[in-house]
Amino acid sequence: MKKFGMISVTALIASAAGAWAGELSVVCSAEQDWCDLMVSAFEEQNPDTDVLMVRKSTGETLAQIRAEAGNPKIDIWWGGTGDPHLIAAEEGLTQASGVDTGDLLGWAQNMAEISGGKTVGIYAGALGIAYNSDILEKKGIAAPQCWADLEDPRFEGEIQVANPNSSGTAYTELATFVQLFGEDEAMVKLAAVGKNVNSYTKSGSAPSKAAARGETGVSIGFMHDMVKLASQGFPLKIVAPCEGTGYEVGAVSIIEGARNPEGARKWVEFALSADVQSRAPEVGSFQVPSNSNAQVAPESPDLAAIKLIDYDFATYGSSETRERLLARWDAEVGDPNPQQ
């Protein structure tokens, strides 16, 4: 009976492993249409694998993989700002992929070095301000050119931005202000901007979509998302703040204890390939790709022409720093109407 039981358990484990080998569970923290393109392209190259994909913000994903530590439901986390990916790596929630990063640009390789190979950069994008030119002209409001402008009472009720507790975009904004102005002054400035905010959204791309539709006058977000909307004909103007700005390095990570580690590694290799990264503009994704051989869309923001800060990914991608800054943001800036 004992022997039969051992054989049965072994057979069940082998059967389950075989089933998982045919499925790959992916959480995507990029825009939905880019997530869909990645899934269809991967399944085309790997016809024996069914990709089960769900889109979630980086904050939501970090919370999920923390909750599932030891019994993960996710194999791959693709896209979204790199800071939460680095935090997951620091907390042992992700594992090294072992992929070759030789063709990647320096900022992408830097992510792998910081994390011990547990996360790798896939794209970069600068933080900026967008405004609906029709709304501001109609209301006689001078357009913003700097972060400091957003503190002005002329923008009362006109600004929309995401909540940094759920949004990697907004956490990048928070970390950018701290690096530009110092932690104490950053909180003062963010609170002043907050007086003009009409809504803190869950998603980092939502504010610019609202500005494009005329639901708010000004948004804070990543410039590549703004470029996408402007290219669709919306009256959206994009500003690189005069004081300088931060940037994201989007990342890909394999979850520790992934049920399909082989499929997960294939996904990382696929996501880092020049051919795949060059396809992003097909769905209006204009981030700068990390593979040095990938084609950069002419619409993509020119990072060399933007006053970028020397963003400290090691510091602001640590759990301790993130928790401290979020606690201060909640206490000193805060969202009066947090979304559930």
pLDDT in tens, 257-267: 999 999 999 99
| Start and end residues for every CATH 3.40.190.10 domain found in the chain | 2-124+249-296, 127-247+320-332
Is residue 286 over pLDDT 50?
A: yes
Q: In the prediction, which pLDDT does 13 show?
A: 39
Is residue 327 over pLDDT 60?
A: yes
pLDDT tens, residue by residue, 185-236: 999 999 999 999 999 999 999 999 999 999 999 999 999 999 999 999 999 9
How far apart (Å, rounded) are the C-alpha atoms in residues 181 and 327? 18
Q: In the prediction, which pLDDT does 338 show?
A: 76
The confidence band for 130, taking pLDDT boundaries of 50, 70 and 90, is: very high
Is residue 12 over pLDDT 50?
A: no
The confidence band for 20, taking pLDDT boundaries of 50, 70 and 90, is: low
| Other CB atoms within 10 Å distance of the CB of residue 143 | 14
Could you tell me which residue, 18 or 275, shows the higher pLDDT?
275
Mean pLDDT of 18-29: 82
Q: Which of 250, 223, 246 is nearest to 108 (CA)?
A: 250
How far apart (Å, rounded) are the C-alpha atoms in residues 286 and 29? 15
Looking at 1.10.10.10, 3.40.190.10, 3.30.360.10, 3.40.190.100, the CATH number of the domain 2-124+249-296 comes to: 3.40.190.10
Mean pLDDT of 232-256: 98
Mean pLDDT of the chain: 93
Q: Are 247 and 301 in contact (CB under 8 A)?
A: no
Q: What CATH number was assigned to the domain covering residues 127-247+320-332?
A: 3.40.190.10
Mean pLDDT of 94-116: 97
Is residue 17 over pLDDT 80?
A: no
Mean pLDDT of 137-161: 98
Q: Sort 303 into a burial class: Cβ within 10 Å, 0-12 / 13-18 / 19+.
A: middle
How far apart (Å, rounded) are the C-alpha atoms in residues 154 and 173? 21
Is residue 173 over pLDDT 60?
A: yes
Q: What angle do CA 254, 259, 261 make, to 5 degrees?
A: 45
Q: In the prediction, which pLDDT does 335 show?
A: 86
Q: In the prediction, which pLDDT does 10 show?
A: 39
Q: Are 212 and 190 in contact (CB under 8 A)?
A: no
Mean pLDDT of 131-152: 98
Q: In the prediction, which pLDDT does 337 show?
A: 77
Beta strand pairing status for 197-201 and 159-162?
parallel
Q: In the prediction, which pLDDT does 82 show?
A: 94
How far apart (Å, rounded) are the C-alpha atoms in residues 226 and 156? 22
Instruction: Summarize the chain as % helix, strand, coil (round to 5).
Output: 45, 20, 35
The confidence band for 46, taking pLDDT boundaries of 50, 70 and 90, is: very high
Q: In the prediction, which pLDDT does 110 show?
A: 95
Is residue 160 over pLDDT 70?
A: yes
pTM of the model: 0.88
